[in-house]
Amino acid sequence: MQWSRRQFLGAMGVAGLIGSTGPKAVSRAAPILDGLYRSAVPELYAPIDPAPAHSEAVVVGSGFGAAVTARRLAEAGVRVTVLERGSQWPTDPRRQIFANDFLPDGRAFWRRGGTAPLTGLPTVPTDRFGGIFDVSEHGTIDVWSGAAVGGGSLVFTGVMIAPERRFFDQLFTGLVSYDEMQALHYPLVRSELRLAPMPEDVYQSLPFTHSRVWDHQVRRAGYTPQRIDGIWDWDVVRGEMAGRSRPSAIIGESNLGNSNGAKFDLNRNYLAAARATGRCTIHASHEVTAVTREADGRYSLTVDLLDPSAEVLSTRTVTCDDLFLGAGSMGTSRLLVHARDTGLLPDLNEHVGEGWGTNGDAALVRGMSPEGNGIVQASPSASRISDDSGAPLTLENWFVPGSPVDLTLIGSLGMVMDPTMRAPGRW
């Protein structure tokens, strides 16, 4: 994953500022880049659709948790307002909507400017803009997450694996029923997101050489690779190979978005279904900065309206009867910790903001693979292996994007069940 940021080449990032003349009219990107973004993605510069002053329910964020919540509330008859800090990005089979990995620009990163810390690898500075990938530093942990309508579903790698019962129960200790998840929720999500393993014709194609090499190597090491579910739209991936679409998934684009909709992201399923009820509206460029509870029981939210560069255009207050925070582990924790420490929300206990850590992922890249890697590596993951000989772990076949020559690199994403996560007071 991190090799996508090996942007030794070029430096498009000139962080110049220009003045603001009105909502969504300008960005703080360098003028030349602002012009580029405006012509490449004019949709970003459309007027903001302001949220209603009062809503029955507000959902903050529009990633996985928020999208499911918004849809199910709306289907149950509730009028729902979704507030999302990021932009509403379009997709197009031919246009390049998002930044590319090799030579990124402001469309890559959320409100940064300069370089983004990507696990210690050298990066190219970019201008400050409202890009879709939020990279933020917190002591010894750097956090990567999505910042767009659809949240992480635009930037994630699309591997969708239901956890095994033994790991699930170890974490949730019976608080959430695994039987119910297995019988009801996992199959439902699998069907709604059209999750499927990589089809054989895709697996056998040139851009997936690295997947076959990976499988071959793990077999030689005594493991049996299992095909895993993904959220990829295989027809779009096939279209890329057939020249019907600009190459994206097959050249290792993923972390900074797939302009052609190669990922079946939340805009095309849960959020679309929520909108289709006629009871849910989704408001991009609305960043919630504070939440409080009024004496009458309503929630009151302070909301910044942002321009395409994620700079604040104006601030307003919206209220709701019921509030659902789906702003991801960073966004929701930030709001709750602020609310607790300022006393803006009553009844928040000492566990808010605690027990937070990495998700057990470890990215590995092996060099000197004797079989090579197939030059450019497609981003969808084909398979994984499991190993219980120590701390239980899985290793997934991963891509090393953006390498223009065969660097004989083979990537894996490890996931480990870390026993220290089970210490008292943590989970």
Ligand X SMILES: Cc1cc2nc3c(=O)[nH]c(=O)nc-3n(C[C@H](O)[C@H](O)[C@H](O)COP(=O)(O)OP(=O)(O)OC[C@H]3O[C@@H](n4cnc5c(N)ncnc54)[C@H](O)[C@@H]3O)c2cc1C
Nearer to ligand X, 37 or 64 (CB): 64
Give me the least distance between CB of 381 and ligand X, in Å please.
7
Least distance in angstroms from the C-beta of 370 to ligand X: 27
Contact call for residue 324 and ligand X (CB under 6 A): no
Interface residue with ligand X among 61, 113, 130, 261 (CB under 6 A) is 61
257 binds ligand X (CB under 6 A): no
Specify the residue for token string 């000197």: 368
Select the residue interacting with ligand X from 159, 378, 382, 409 (CB under 6 A): 159
**Cβ closer to ligand X: 30 or 102?**
102
Which residue, among 134, 147, 158, 161, has the nearest Cα to 62 in the 3D structure?
147
Q: Which stretch binds ligand X (CB under 6 A): 25-33, 72-80, 143-151, 306-314?
A: 143-151
Token digits for 124? 């190219």
Which phi-psi region, left, alpha or beta, contains residue 222 (left: φ > 0; alpha: ψ -120 to 50)?
Answer: left
Q: Which is nearer to ligand X, 27 or 145 (CB)?
A: 145
Interacting residues with ligand X between 204 and 233 (CB under 6 A): none
Sorted by sequence, the CB contacts under 8 Å of residue 373 that are 6+ apart come out as 209, 210, 213, 400, 403, 406, 407, 408, 409, 410
Instruction: For the chain, give the longest Cα–Cα distance.
Output: 68
**Residue 281 half-sphere exposure toward CB, CA atoms < 13 A:** 13
Q: How far is the CB of 160 from ligand X (least distance, A)?
A: 6
The nearer residue to ligand X, 327 or 409, going by C-beta atoms, is 327
Closer residue to ligand X (CB): 30 or 144: 144
CB of residue 311 to ligand X, shortest distance in Å: 15
- Residues 6 or more apart from 151 whose CB is under 8 A from it? 61, 62, 63, 64, 66, 67, 84, 86, 145, 266, 328
Residues touching ligand X, count (CB under 6 A): 32
Q: Which two tokens stand for residue 425?
A: 């007071």
DSSP state of 407: -
Residue 347 has φ and ψ, to the nearest 5°, of 65, 25
Nearer to ligand X, 30 or 116 (CB): 116
Tell me how far, at minimum, the Cβ of 123 lies from ligand X, in Å: 15
Rounded to the nearest whole angstrom, what is the least distance from the CB of residue 71 to ligand X in the complex?
13
Stretch of residues binding ligand X (CB under 6 A), selected from 28-36, 141-149, 162-170, 191-199: 141-149
Two structure tokens written together for 366: 């092996």
Q: Interacting stretch for ligand X, rule CB under 6 A, among 60-68, 113-121, 177-185, 367-375?
A: 60-68
Does 63 contact ligand X by CB under 6 A? yes
Letters for 330-349 (x = contact with ligand X by CB under 6 A, - = none) are -x------------------
Q: What is the dihedral of CA 50, 55, 59, 61, to 10 degrees?
A: 10
Calculate the alpha carbon distances from 361 to 9, 143, 393 in Å. Answer: 28, 12, 10
How far apart CA 419 and CA 335 sit, in angstroms, is: 29
Query: In the complex with ligand X, which residue's Cβ is closer, 96 or 302?
Result: 302
- φ and ψ at residue 161, rounded to 5 degrees: -120, 125
Q: Which of 3, 37, 102, 144 binds ligand X (CB under 6 A)?
A: 144
SS (H, E, C) 176-210: CCHHHHHHHHHHHHHHHCCCEECCHHHHCCHHHHH
85 binds ligand X (CB under 6 A): yes
What are the angstrom distances between the C-alpha of 133 and each of 29, 66, 147, 405?
16, 18, 6, 26
Q: According to CB under 6 A, which residues from 269 to 298 bind ligand X?
A: 287-288
Q: Which range touches ligand X (CB under 6 A), out of 96-104, 147-155, 187-195, 196-204? A: 147-155
Residue 204 CA from chain centroid, whole number: 28
Q: Closer CB to ligand X, residue 11 or residue 329?
A: 329
User: Does 51 interact with ligand X (rule: CB under 6 A)?
Assistant: no
With contact defined as beta carbons under 8 Å apart, do 376 and 101 qualify? no
Residue number with CB closer to ligand X (118 or 376): 118
Interface residue list for ligand X (CB under 6 A): 1, 60-66, 83-86, 144-148, 151-152, 155-160, 255, 287-288, 326-328, 331
